[in-house]
A = this chain, B = another copy of it.
Amino acid sequence: MDTAFQLDEGSRASFLRLIMQSFGCFYICLWSYMPPPSNCLFFLDGVYDEENQPSSSSGNQARRLFDEYRQSIFNVVENECVPGFAFRNSLPNLELQEIDLQRLASSSVQRQFYQTAVFMGCKSGEIELGLSNVPQINIKRELMRNWLPEAFTRQLSPHTAVANRPNNPDQQNPLSSSSSSFRSLSTMDSPEYSSILFNIPTTTTTSHINIPEVFTQPAPNPLQPINIVTSLEPMPPLNIISSSITSPHQQALQAFSRIRNTQFPNPEIEDAAMTRAILAVLSASPSSSSSHQPPPQTNVPPSSSTAHFLTPKTSAFKTYNSSPLAPRTPKSANVRKQIMLKRSISFLRSLNLMRLREGIQATRPTSSQLHHMISERKRREKLNESFHTLKSLLPPGTKKDKASVLTTAREYLISLRAQVAELSKRNQQLEARLPPAAKEAYNEEAAAAAGSSNERVSVTLTRVASESTPDQDQQIFDLQVVLRSVECCTEDMVIRILEFLKRVNNVSLMSMEANTWMSGSDSNVNRVILRLRVDQGTEWDEAAFQEAVRRVVADLALNNCSNP
C-alpha cells in the first residue's frame, strides 16, 4: 500500500477514486508519516464522495467535518488513537466500528465524523477508508460504476496496454463529467438523445482535495531508507524468480490443487473458495502487466482480441511442445517460467479486456436498449402530460397527486354527469308544462327537438317541479329517450337504460313509460320516458347524465341489439 504514497498527484487521485469506487467507501484519507522530530501523521491526500452520503441534508455538515478532520495532525507517540494505531502497530487492515472509533478518537471532530473506518497501516503511513454505517448506501450504483468504467473506444493491443500512451488532451470522455441528479426530464425535450447524456450512470462527484505543492512530494519513508526503484529501464522478468524453488504460477497450481479434492456443499463456501482460487490464479502473475518494458520479440503472443496470428513455428512454445520430455535445463526452466509468466500476464490482460468488454456492452446498450429507454421516457412524459392536463380540468384545489387526480376525476365525472342529467330533466319538465296544450306539444316538441332532426337518438332531461318533495337534496327529473329508425326492440333499449340507471348511484327510478310505433316506411320509433328521483348529495351534472344516457343508447343502436 505504500505505493499510494509514492504516486504523483494525478495518478494518486485516480488511484484513490478507483479504490473508493471499488470499496464503496465515501472517503479516503492518506495519512502520511512525517519522520521525527515531527513523528506525526498528516493528511497527504484524500478523496471525499459528496454524492454518496447517508442523508443529503447532513451532507454539507459531514463535508465540513471532513474538511476539518483532514486538517488535523495526529501524533504517533500516543498509542491508542486513530489514525495512527494501524501505522504504529503495523496493522495492515484494521476495521473499526463506530463504538471503537468513538473510543479511539482524540478530537470532537472525529467523534462527530466517524462512522466505520478501515485503517491500513503501511510504512509510509496509513490509509483510512471511511465506510458508512447506513446500509442502504448506494451500493448498486457503486457496483455499476465500479465494474462499468468508461467505454473503451478501441481495443488495447498488449503494447499499447502496457506502455504509457501519449496524451490526447482533447479526447475527453463525456461520461466522466459529473452531473447532479435531477428529478424530471420533462422540461427539456427537443434533442432526443441529448438528455441521455445526463442519465448515464454518473460518475461520483468526487471532490479531490488539493493540498499545497510542498506536500505532494513523496514523503520520505522513515522506516525504509532504501528508496523505491523508479528507473524506467526494463528489468528482465525472467530473472525475478529464477532461482526460487517454485514459481508463483506453480504456487498457484499448488494452491489450487490443495483445494481440488474438497467438495463444496455450501454455495457460500463454494463461492468463497472459488474466489480464492481465482485470486490465486491472479496472484500468480508478478505484476508484470504493468511493466514498461516492451515484450520480447519472439515470445510474447500478440493481442488476443484482434486475433493476430504470430508465426507459431518460431515461438518458444513450439520448441517446447515438440519435446515434451526435455530435461529441465536452466534454460528450459527459464523458458517454462517465461511461458507461465506470459500466460499469467495474458490471463490478467484478458480479464481486463473482459471487464472492459462488459463495460462496453453495458454502457452501450446496443442502441436498441437506448431506443427503448428514450421511448419509455417519452411515454412517461406523455402520460404525465395527460395527467397534468386532466388535473387542469379538474376543479381547482385538487391535489396534484397522481392517484388523487384519478379519483377526483372520477368523482368530478360522476358529478358532471349528474348535473347533465339534472339539467336535462329539468329542461324536459319545463318543456312538458310550458304549453298547457297537453301531451301533444310535449311529443311535438320532443319530435321537433329530436324527431325531425335526422339524428337517431334523442335524449332530453327535464326537471320536474318538485312540490311533492320540497327538500333540496332530492329532485325529480323526467328523462325522455327517443330512438328511431333502428330495428332495435324496445326491450333492449329499456334494459340498457335501466341497467345504466342502476350503475348511477344517486338516481332511482320513480316511474317510466315506453312505447313503440311505426314511423314512415320500416323504421319504428322507441320512446321511453323515465321519471327519476335524484339524490343530490353530491353535485349532479345534468348534462353529463344526459350525455351518458345518449351514449348508452347510441351504443345500443350501434350494436344493433346483438347482446344476448
A277 partner residues in chain B, CB cutoff 8 A: 3, 15, 290
Say if the beta carbon of A74 comes within 8 Å of chain B.
no
Complex: chain B residue closest to A350, CB-CB: B93
Say if the beta carbon of A171 comes within 8 Å of chain B.
yes
Say if the beta carbon of A268 comes within 8 Å of chain B.
yes
Q: Are A315 and B409 in contact (CB under 8 A)?
A: no
Q: Are A243 and B244 in contact (CB under 8 A)?
A: yes
Say if the beta carbon of A285 comes within 8 Å of chain B.
yes
A434 partner residues in chain B, CB cutoff 8 A: 430, 433-435
Q: Are A325 and B541 in contact (CB under 8 A)?
A: no
Say if the beta carbon of A324 comes within 8 Å of chain B.
yes
Chain A binding surface SS class:
helix
Of A106-114, A190-198, A206-214, A219-227, the stretch lying at the interface with chain B is A219-227
State the Cβ distance, A378 to closest chain B Cβ, in Å.
11
A3 partner residues in chain B, CB cutoff 8 A: 252-253, 256-257, 260, 277, 281
Of A43-51, A55-63, A361-369, A450-458, the stretch lying at the interface with chain B is A361-369
Say if the beta carbon of A10 comes within 8 Å of chain B.
yes
Q: Are B7 and A260 in contact (CB under 8 A)?
A: yes
Q: Are B495 and A499 in contact (CB under 8 A)?
A: yes
State the Cβ distance, A513 to closest chain B Cβ, in Å.
4
Contacting B at CB under 8 A, from A473-520, are 489-492, 494-495, 498-499, 501-502, 508-516
Sample of 15 A–B contacts (CB below 8 Å): A3-B260, A11-B261, A24-B361, A91-B312, A93-B301, A94-B304, A152-B268, A152-B272, A168-B269, A171-B265, A175-B267, A283-B344, A433-B434, A510-B515, A510-B516
Say if the beta carbon of A354 comes within 8 Å of chain B.
yes
Say if the beta carbon of A286 comes within 8 Å of chain B.
yes
Q: Are B317 and A90 in contact (CB under 8 A)?
A: yes
State the Cβ distance, A282 to closest chain B Cβ, in Å.
6
Say if the beta carbon of A38 comes within 8 Å of chain B.
no
Compute how far the CA of A76 lies from the CA of B245 in the bound complex, rounded to whole angstroms. 32
Say if the beta carbon of A200 comes within 8 Å of chain B.
no
Compute how far the CA of A355 lies from the CA of B252 in the bound complex, rounded to whole angstroms. 21
Given A100-B307, A287-B283, A436-B435, A490-B513 contact (CB < 8 Å) = no
Say if the beta carbon of A161 comes within 8 Å of chain B.
yes
Given A144-B143, A383-B403, A230-B257 contact (CB < 8 Å) = yes
A78 partner residues in chain B, CB cutoff 8 A: none
Compute how far the CA of A19 lies from the CA of B97 in the bound complex, rounded to whole angstroms. 34
Q: Which of B164, B259, B281, B318 contacts A259 (CB 8 A)?
A: B164
With A3-B252, A91-B317, A433-B437 given, name 20 new contacts (CB 8 A): A10-B263, A11-B260, A18-B271, A24-B361, A164-B262, A165-B269, A169-B265, A222-B324, A228-B254, A229-B254, A279-B351, A280-B287, A283-B284, A382-B403, A395-B548, A418-B543, A424-B542, A433-B435, A490-B511, A491-B499
